Chain A
């Protein structure tokens, strides 16, 4: 086992050449290709974000005109949502880890998995074309009637999102079928790692919600190309129907983003506290509960769109109910840590940051779910801050935690843990500095998506300082992420060889070598309790955890 790392045959060296990657059916390689791609999308979306924040650093024109600004925030949102966060955890990390956690050789439909990646690339190409052909200024939400009348490149963008939707559906379909049919003997539903429960719940949403987005985007295309008229009030259509369709997908979509993040946190908290997860079944069921409740709350995006008061009240109440399973998870994580033997390795730093930031992000969601306060806060920076606390403070931080956790498994190399912790601290500080002031801005009434805030300056001189703080925070955050990129890339060449089980995880992926062989397991692994750490002891010589004999 000690020599596992020097085994010549692992999934990275199994075959060589570009084609062996582009057309591979190996879930691990597809996961790695997804990982590289979404990191590219993160960099692109991050670049747009930095341009937006730079423009807003001071009132008046800073670096770009209002039209360019509209393009920037639209593309920031569209790229981050469709190309980064939605495929982020499931398709990159999930693809790599899920079959190994199941003790399987691959996902149920490897070719569909590859097709999913190819569609992802195709969708990304459409987004690049959107950018090259003149951009998009509708906001990532494509609201009608503006999206059917603007002369920016809506068609390439919605085609891209449509294609990406199928990529997402294929991933979800694959995961559901894999979890149902590929579990090894002995792994009952309640012996699955919680990350798999989270991916399962995510996959349900991907499969049930994404088709509705697909048809909606098709209708927008038809509206633009041949004036179909379903969303156009001039022709008898209904633009609010578009909002219903759009949010029927896009609200559950935020749970596509956050649920796998929560799954990662469940793994990290237990492993780095060296303690059995507290309330396993509650965490598992709460993932499914969030997935199901998530379908019933889309109307809370439309409190000001003229929907009936009764509908708004029902949507508001259901929105509050989502906080119950979310809180169940947080309390169980805290209870897991209680009296645990906590080690502050880099992944755990991100896990702790997640709990704090998701706490703020989740609780501010209640402000927005309450009807009266939402009317005040609707379309202000408060919403932007809430969204980023859950999506960036939640999903991106958990993604980073998971990336660091599985990095040794994926690459066979250890990264520099000290730099990892420093970068985590910078990311955490930069994130809060960037987004906490936006809560204040929003509650003081600064609207989102506005290019300028000079005119309100007489009344609200404080807009200026909060915007400046936010921009400084954004740059700090970017510095932190660049440091992460540097030491991770550095580790690929200079990192210490990773042992099979550097963190002491008890799930199955830590039983195969790092990086795993092509077929994952030469013979079917023994399935035990995924959170039972009592059988593992730390071997200081080999820097890894080994089974007690």
Chain B
């Protein structure tokens, strides 16, 4: 990736086309360095923004591991894995696009940006399928958590008993007994399991989905924001704004996109792959 020491950044610095240098900067190199630093600082704020939710995740998982072990099985690992692959691919196309911009390959840049947008759309489409499934099953955040007739084991009067069951369940691990076995079998068929077939349900399972929806929802908003930024870059690329002398915006949007990608790379194992 291009940074200030990149050979092309040198070209960038020598560029005399003042059209792209704002009046308050002395040189294109100064403008590029300021933009780059600004974007990195912005990425830091984004990490702290998500950091709050990651912290909530850590606290609840440490306090109530049984909820996470139980509830994560209702997430579809395959769809999650496909989405991970799609986003990593989009990062490749984005990085490639930045490279194209630096090498004056306008058509390559346009193609790469379009591919990145396509990957992002696929990601959101798959996310929509997952959300719809959760919505139908009533697997929503704590306040609206209502799995309906699939409820099975836990009822109001039984919560005390249920809790005792959890404590035992904790010690024995998640895959104990036939229920755990069942879940594996049915998961291998279509990736998800009907709710209520997994033995004792811990109290407050909804909290897992609160965190799931908060994290993935916020991430989806960032994907949409990233798509808007990429679309803006795409329009400018089509107009021929970028080249080896001026590629700052492509580079900066690329950085942002990699962060969005990276957050998902953390979300996927934390939410889908719990053992």
Contact = CB atoms under 8 A, between A and B. Distances in A.
A232 B51 contact: no
A176 B37 contact: yes
Nearest to A176: B41
B207 interface: yes
Interface residues on B, range: 35 or more
Contacts of B213: 228
A180 B30 CA distance: 10
A544 interface: no
B33 A181 contact: yes
A105 interface: yes
Contacts of B30: 181-182
Given A181-B37, A227-B144, A237 B48 contact: no
Contacts of B53: 215
Contacts of B46: 211
Given A208-B44, A238-B59, A177 B206 contact: no
Interface residues of A, number: 43
Nearest to B143: A227
B210 A229 contact: yes
A111 B113 CA distance: 25
Interface in B32-52: 33-34, 37-38, 41-42, 44-46, 48-52
A104 B33 CA distance: 15
Nearest to A240: B59
B203 interface: yes
A178 B211 CA distance: 37
A228 B51 contact: no
A363 interface: no
A106 B34 CA distance: 12
B56 interface: yes
Nearest to B33: A181
Contacts of A107: 24
Main secondary structure of the interface of A (DSSP, over half): helix
A210 B41 CA distance: 13
B34 A182 contact: yes
B210 A228 contact: yes
Contacts of A182: 24, 30, 34
A106 B24 contact: yes
A478 interface: no
Contacts of B41: 173, 176-177, 207
A156 to B, nearest CB: 21
B141 interface: yes
B210 A173 contact: no
A198 B147 CA distance: 54
Interface in B193-219: 203-204, 206-207, 210-211, 213-214, 218
B158 interface: no
Contacts of B34: 108-109, 177-178, 180-182
Q: Which of B34, B48, B50 counts the most A-chain CB atoms under 10 A from its CB? A: B48
A216 interface: yes
A104 B144 contact: no
Interface in B1-33: 22-24, 30, 33
A518 to B, nearest CB: 10
Given A212-B48, A212-B49, A212-B51, 11 more contacts: A108-B34, A173-B45, A177-B34, A180-B37, A207-B44, A211-B46, A232-B142, A235-B142, A235-B207, A237-B207, A245-B52
Interface of A: 99, 104-110, 112, 169, 173-174, 176-178, 180-182, 207-212, 214-216, 218-219, 222, 226-230, 232, 235-238, 241, 245, 519
23 contacts: A99-B24, A105-B23, A106-B23, A109-B38, A173-B42, A174-B38, A177-B34, A178-B34, A181-B37, A211-B48, A212-B48, A212-B51, A226-B143, A228-B143, A228-B214, A229-B207, A230-B207, A230-B210, A235-B204, A235-B207, A236-B64, A237-B142, A238-B63
Closest 8 CB pairs of A and B: A227-B143, A229-B142, A236-B204, A235-B142, A215-B52, A106-B24, A211-B49, A105-B24
